[in-house]
Structure 1
């Protein structure tokens, strides 16, 4: 029996039932005890009678006697008594044979009517649950009966409701926003899996855009990616950078998605800020292990960003002003409850302070604009369209200037085909372009351009067969156009010869399947498979070499062109086909503990190589072809999770081992220039990375925080480098500590602090010197054989905000941050030059970026 849920001692009554029908007995108990019984007459015994006599009995006593040996059970909630059919465990042999009916619907925000991603829908009686997908939709099938359902999501009040299921049932609900802020900064969904009846298979990290605004900032800019870097396994390749290195992978191995559209460059200002404006972000999920088969094209991780849909109830304005930039967001209904829009923009204003000054001053400028429109065609069909545009501009007086940016767009049609079937069709494009000008000397001034164009079509379907089996499948095709760049004279007097390599075209097609099977409440298996095919479209010019530039025995040879073939027709030239299995298993060892293991095979058909030492915009993406094979990563990972004291504390530890094939690198002393024959300038090798990641967190209370530690190795091997010995990659950092703490001083005042420690990155040091044309030139030794000093810094912030209360339509917050409060001069790199005291000797000059750096930001919403 389920019995009372209250802690109070129940009242005692006198009962006298002799051959009383169940219906009459319930009516008498209801009248005597002032209780409201909720039940179905069809479930009550007809022949059997109630016989019970006592002068001093509780309601619980009489109900236990009435339902003893019957297929009925009850639960007392306040003054309500719910009578239900006794549950047969769904994972038992008998339970799996019971007929089931789907409960489905959408979870929405009651304020804006936006759908809620990742909400938990849990049926405690059956000990089963599910989560809402990226459109807020869920579906779960249960036997006929009446159930109590618990629905919750981070930042919203928990909702408990009752539902009577006797056929397919729609249950769409709206959640109310919490009137106090939760103190969880970064949520690892896996840690809450044990008590929600929904074991997670993926190593997934979800970042809260709202709480990111309370963390210490650099120059007043909140940054989703820098918040993510506080988690184990997600590293910054340089201090202050918003680029990502995940489990030893290169920064080009991360799949960044904005509303299902890939982004090639996810940073602003040479990597110091990410392109993601927190004001426009609805949800961010990242994967580093147990990656679903629906994701492909990159080899290490996924950062899946979904934009807000816009408030379809009322018009709202929000924005913020920081130390160097400002942002503004407008949203509202086009037609209430039917259509909505949101437009968000961000730009610095440092260039505005230079109005009236010489135009030749140094300039760093960036801006981005995102928009989204949503139209509810009917209860089963939704149409959305979103776009994103970003631009960066960097100039150094009359020396050089650079400009680069992203341009994306998509149209998506989501459809509920049946109570158990959900589909999504998306048409999208993404463009990334770069333009550089070097004009320090007019006679040798030049401009370079570079552009990538992708056009894609994707269709996915989700089938919820039962509470135990879910199938997700889909297909996608992408047309790639690689404009490998051009070089043209910039000034009229320039003697630079124009160069324009041919465009490279390719077609990438894929199909995927993700099958999730809950064997029981303690064991879940995921089987995924992704098939992909990469077809090169024959180039206008094809070069014939004296030796194959990519064969292992010829890699160190400068292959010579002996003939050129010109093609006038469009046809496929060469293709690669791969099958990427994804396997995962999650086991609930105990009520508060779980273990997971996964295997991921990831294929990447385009790799980025840097043409200079500058970050962010200085690389070129090189597609696979007959000479260049795709990058393939194989990773196995294992993890253990435990929580304590009602999820107040939790701890997780993960280990991984990853191997890489066909890692690209420029040849030693290669031509780092734009060329039509890039295959003659690159080499291919192997990689491996492995490590241990751990984190302990306090999630509840006025004082919250986390301590994470990563111990890892990342190594590469090329026959032409370091005598074919394994050497550290640029991303190799042995030890990384992150300490985050947040303290709620008052309901309106929040203090946060972050301390980061990272062991030094590898670099190539000189072992000697030589003279050329009268200049002292360093002679470098083995690649990455030395290490920079370790880095560490402490950042603090104080956030004052107005609490969200009913009846108020505005809110605001003010954040004051200090980056590197003890002014540690962390080494960014070394420059080797002639010593000023002794010109015949080399000296290493330490370059550092930041000392102590205060900043502020003010955010508002009306």
Structure 2
């Protein structure tokens, strides 16, 4: 067959195929069906035609009418008849290609009826509590007719865009009655909502929020946990103080750093890898009194939101998690006083209007009314004292602009006889300007300052006693912009810059006979800057996508003194590097810079209306790390910034999760698995000096780490009996060339099993009983493997790092809470909580001390240290 014949034959085939296709398309439109459509929406009609006629529609969601409904009831009608009715060619047309029906868009004037129908107008506003007029975070706003919704941001603001029409709007939030109204939209609509608080006590202690309500509330991008501050007062307490962080530790993945401690380890990360924010201001130490309490006074808190994965790009500077705390704004309608008295401390809060409906204030403070453990002895006294004070003022300039200023101050003093003493504290201040730039665009700008300080006295041996101090100061500016493009797409972006000043401390002799040489390490300055964006896109009712990125830069400002080391770069020699020269500089210059781009991505897919999967990837960069000076008491850690020889910590986390809601939300179940890679984790050199010096890079080493595990949570959320079971199974390892011969070893956070059971039973409207049982497998520690005798005393020789394990810990805690209305109008209320910590008096091991035996100084003995046996406590809280 010639090539000409082949080409001719192929051409004939093409014409035959096209003709057949055209005939088939024509015949498809002429096929007759029975249609019974009554008041159905376009999406419903498209789905019905697809199922009934065996065709596929090709179209864009943005072009399909959402409000218009169709009635078409015929027993014998062509497919083209109903298509001509739906897509009449004025705005939407159609063509049939085989089994595909392609919907086309025709241009029309915006002032025509079809143009007005297509044009979308924003509905926006602020959701507040009706009584106090405080804004509500995370309230759900749903347009029922369109099956779309959103949640309010941290300032209570929301925005949705809808076509012209009338819609039923529902607003819901945990602990409030639902708001339901009909809104007619012909132009931009301002809809401010006030929710009435429920009279009955809310029994849910921990709440997963920020879910999309579009598909039965299961599309959740981030692994978010919200703690309700009020409910912490119903849980078993230590020494009569409710604590939101201890409540958080009942959730999987959040581990207590030590027995009874409010310090957090999240997914294998160190306690320094958690970003604590108070009204957008970073906090460097979030604990009181050896970690028994966090610094967050429950009465002053509005909302506590935490992220473990799917972390928005607006957060940076830490490696593992975010704990975002917002303080209450105060009642701008009337004056209120509330407070409480616990076993060792008392707290009080006063709030009220400065100008009604315009400005409000709130002041909250807490302090022990007796110095705990202040026991006289021949060597001195033991003292644990703390206080915290927060204040906030909010002024609404107009309907579009608000100014808020707040401050937080805390101080702790801890002393053990005349042997050691520590003092530390946080001071913060900020001013925030919130502005509604357009019906779809919201912004806030925060200027803030934070100060953290630590001082320590070590007087174990007077001849070597010393006092040391350390401070850290930050000044920051952050600008954040939120734009609501459509009901399905939200875009956030912003800029942030922080000036860090690290005062690396000074050392001075303490006792007159001390031979310690005074030293004063030079200050270290750095500038940390970032630009970020987040896009949240509801692709459809079953798929939600989040994409973000954070570009950060860390610039070291050149030190006045710089040291030249013998080995550059450092090598694993087992001994400290030798300084061979010192160079002095003057002026302001950038000495070293680090850049990092941290992508964030997450996706949630609804398998069914009650079950969903989520996956997430997070990269986090941390430019300063905290190392604990092990020869000093707790809370004596020092923050060490990156420089030429100390690289920033980089964490890459991959996670996948499953979420299920059962029996109309009465039960829910979640399962999450994760894997985390870490680079350049800091540790002290085995021969390092556990004191801050100008040559800190010579005393620390960097390593790599890996953490992985899975977390499960089952909860009953409604009814007289509520509760949860949380289990975490995890591993955390690191490897440093200079430690354990470069082999992998478990980190201090490595803890295989953590199991928490919470049960809460409402005995009556006024009486609530709660119980918590906790089990945790033992933490690693470094045990001695030998000894030698010096001056008649035994000195332990320690083996491999973290090669031994402490015993497992477990305890049962119970509480009984009584509620009472103090007036007929039910405006005043009080509660009394009685708790027992560690009901069966188990002496859980906190640590071991290895020392010479008193009976035989040349014999090494192991002493078990535990903090609590059985510990009853009470608290009384009031509000009027």
* Both proteins in one fold, TM over 0.5: yes
Q: Please point out which of 257, 261, 272 is paired with 1:237.
A: 257
Whether 1:585 and 2:598 are equivalent positions in the alignment is no
> Structure 1 residue 518: deviation in Å?
1.2
1:155/1:177 contact within 8 Å kept: yes
- Supply the distance in 1 between the matched residues of 2:467 and 2:579 (Cα, whole angstroms): 27
Counterpart-to-counterpart distance in 2, 1:194 and 1:464:
16
Counterpart contact for 1:327–1:344, Cα < 8 Å:
yes
2:670 is the counterpart of 1:652: yes
Q: Deviations over 1:807-859 (max 9, x none)?
A: 23211000000000000111111112234565544332211111000000000
What are the within-5 Å matches in structure 2 for residues 445-844 of structure 1? Answer: 445-492=465-512, 494-548=514-568, 551=570, 553-554=571-572, 556-612=574-630, 616-802=634-820, 807-835=825-853, 839-844=857-862
Deviates more, 1:517-526 or 1:834-843: 834-843
Is the aligned partner of 1:380 residue 2:400? Answer: yes
Say if 2:193 is the partner of 1:173.
yes
Q: State the distance in 2 between where 1:495 and 1:790 align.
A: 43
Go from structure 1 to structure 2 and tell me whether the alpha carbon gap of 1:493 and 1:748 turns closer, same or farther (over 3 Å shift): same
What's the secondary structure of 2:246's corresponding residue? helix
Does 1:285 pair with 2:340?
no
Query: What are the Cα deviations for residues 426-460 of structure 1, in whole angstroms up to 9, with x where unaligned?
Result: 00011000111234665544321100000000100
Q: 1:397 aligns with which of 417, 427, 435?
A: 417
- Cα distance, 1:123–1:353 mapped onto 2, change above 3 Å: same
1:122 touches 1:196 (CA, 8 Å); kept in 2?
no
Question: Which residue of 298, 310, 330 corresponds with 1:310?
Answer: 330
TM-aligned CA distance change 1:614 to 1:140, over 3 Å = farther
1:674 deviates by 2.2
Could you tell me how far 1:515 is from its partner in structure 2? 0.8
Match of 2:236 in 1: 216
Is 1:127–1:197's contact at 8 Å kept on the other side of the alignment? no
Q: Is 1:854 matched up with 2:872?
A: yes
1:366 to 372, 386, 396: 386
Alignment partner, residue 160 of structure 1: 180
The reply on whether 1:294 has 2:322 as its aligned counterpart is: no
8 Å Cα contact 2:148-2:214 kept in structure 1: no
Q: Deviations over 1:547-593 (max 9, x none)?
A: 12x53x34634211111111111110000000000010011111111
| Alpha-carbon distance change, 495 to 357 in structure 1, aligned in 2, over 3 angstroms | closer
Partner residue of 2:352? 332
Distance 2:251 2:667 in 1: 16
Q: Which residue of 1 aligns with 2:280?
A: 260
What secondary structure does 2:234 align onto? Answer: coil
Q: Assess, with a 3 A threshold, how the Cα gap between structure 1 residues 568 and 651 changes in structure 2: closer, same or farther.
A: same
| 8 A contact 1:715–1:726 mirrored in 2 | yes
Deviations 1:217-242 (A, max 9, x none): 00001001000000000000111000
Structure-1 separation of matches of 2:803 and 2:795 = 19
Matches of 1:702 and 1:238 in 2, distance apart?
Answer: 33
Match of 1:204 among 224, 231, 239: 224
Q: Following the alignment from structure 2 to structure 1, what is the Cα–Cα distance between the partners of residues 158 and 724?
A: 31
1:818 and 1:318 map into 2 onto residues whose CA distance is 25
**Range with greater deviation from structure 2 (673-682 or 491-500):** 491-500
**How many aligned positions are there?**
787
In 1, Cα distance between equivalents of 2:573 and 2:370: 48
Task: Report if aligned partners of 1:287, 1:302 keep a CA contact under 8 Å in 2.
Answer: yes
The change in CA–CA distance for 1:492 and 1:691 in structure 2 (over 3 A counts) is same
Distance verdict in 2 for CA 1:220–1:70, change over 3 Å = farther
Give unmatched runs, 5+ long, in structure 1: 5-41, 51-66, 72-91
Cα distance, 1:781 vs structure 2? 1.0
The secondary structure found in structure 2 opposite 1:547 is coil
Q: Deviations over 1:334-379 (max 9, x none)?
A: 0000000000000011239979999942211000000000000000
Alignment of 1:143 onto 2:163: yes
Structure 1 residues 44 and 393: CA distance shift in structure 2, 3 A: closer
Question: Residue 194 of structure 1 contacts residue 591 of structure 1 at CA under 8 Å; is this kept in 2?
Answer: no
User: Which residue pairs with 2:294 in the alignment?
Assistant: 274
How far apart, in 1, do the equivalents of 2:863 and 2:69 lie?
86
Partner-residue secondary structure (3-state), 1:313: coil
Q: Supply the distance in 2 between the matched residues of 1:145 and 1:665 (Cα, whole angstroms).
A: 63
Work out whether residues 510 and 530 of structure 1, in 8 Å CA contact, stay in contact via their aligned partners in 2: yes
Normalised to the residue count of structure 1, the TM-score between the two structures is 0.88
Asked whether the 8 Å contact 2:560–2:586 carries over to 1, the reply is: yes
Secondary structure class of the residue paired with 2:245:
helix
> Take 2:762 and 2:211, find their aligned partners in 1: how far apart are those partners?
23
Change (3 A) 1:192 1:229: farther
Question: Which whole-Å CA distance do the structure 1 matches of 2:478 and 2:249 have between them?
Answer: 30
Residues 214 and 541 of structure 2 are in contact (CA less than 8 Å); yes or no, is this contact kept in structure 1? no
- 2:781–2:806 contact (8 Å) kept in structure 1: yes
SS of match in other structure, 1:723? helix
Secondary structure of 1:714's counterpart equals: strand
More displaced stretch, 152-161 vs 132-141: 152-161
CA 1:671–1:442: 2 relative to 1, 3 Å: closer
Check 1:352–1:761 CA distance in 2 against 1; reply closer, same or farther (3 A cut).
closer
Asked whether the equivalents of residues 267 and 616 of structure 1 are also in contact (C-alpha less than 8 Å), the reply is no
Q: Residue 128 of structure 1 contacts residue 197 of structure 1 at CA under 8 Å; is this kept in 2?
A: no
Q: Which residue of 2 aligns with 1:81?
A: none
Q: Compared with structure 1, are the counterparts of its residues 43 and 297 closer, same or farther at alpha carbon in structure 2 (3 Å cutoff)?
A: closer
3-state DSSP of counterpart to 1:802: strand
Partners of 2:582 and 2:177 in 1: CA distance: 68
- CA displacement at 1:399 relative to structure 2: 2.5
CA–CA separation in structure 1 for the residues paired with 2:619 and 2:720: 42
After superposition, where does 1:11-30 map in structure 2 within 5 Å? none
Q: What residue number does 2:142 align with?
A: 122
8 Å Cα contact 1:518-1:525 kept in structure 2? yes
Give yes or no for contact 1:128–1:198 (8 Å, CA) kept in 2. Answer: no
Relative to structure 2, which stretch is displaced further, 834-843 or 404-413? 834-843
Cα distance change, pair 455–725 in 1 and its aligned pair in 2 (3 A): same
Deviation string for 1:72-98 (max 9, x for gaps)?
Answer: xxxxxxxxxxxxxxxxxxxx9989993
Aligned Cα RMSD in Å? 2.8
Question: Does residue 407 in structure 1 map to residue 427 in structure 2?
Answer: yes
Q: How does 1:98-109 map to 2 (within 5 A)?
A: 98-109=118-129
Secondary structure in 1 aligned to 2:486?
coil
Contact 2:474 2:498 in 1 (8 A): yes
* Cα distance change of structure 1 residues 694 and 354 upon mapping to structure 2, 3 Å threshold: closer
In structure 2, the gaps of 5 or more residues are 1-36, 41-66, 74-81, 87-102, 106-113
1:210 Cα deviation after fit: 0.5
Q: Contact 1:413 / 1:425 at 8 angstroms: preserved in 2?
A: yes
- How far residue 396 of structure 1 moved from its aligned partner, in angstroms, is 2.4
- The residue number in structure 1 matching 2:445 is 425
Is the contact between residue 403 and residue 431 of structure 2 (CA under 8 Å) also seen in structure 1? yes
